[in-house]
Amino acid sequence: MGDMNINMLKYRSHDLTDTRVDGIFSRGFIPRILKPTHPSATLFDHILTNDIAARSSSGIIINDVADHFAVLPN
Percent of the chain with pLDDT over 70: 95
Q: For the whole model, what pTM was predicted?
A: 0.71
Our count of domains for the chain comes to 1
CA-CA distances (angstroms) from residue 37 to 25, 27, 51?
20, 24, 22
For 23-40, b/e burial (b = at least 16 CB within 10 A) is: ebeeeebebbbeebbbee
pLDDT, one tens digit per residue, over 50-61 is 887 766 677 888
Q: How far apart are the first and last CA of the chain?
A: 11
Nearest to 52 by CA among 71, 29, 27: 29
Quote the domain boundaries for residue 44. 2-72
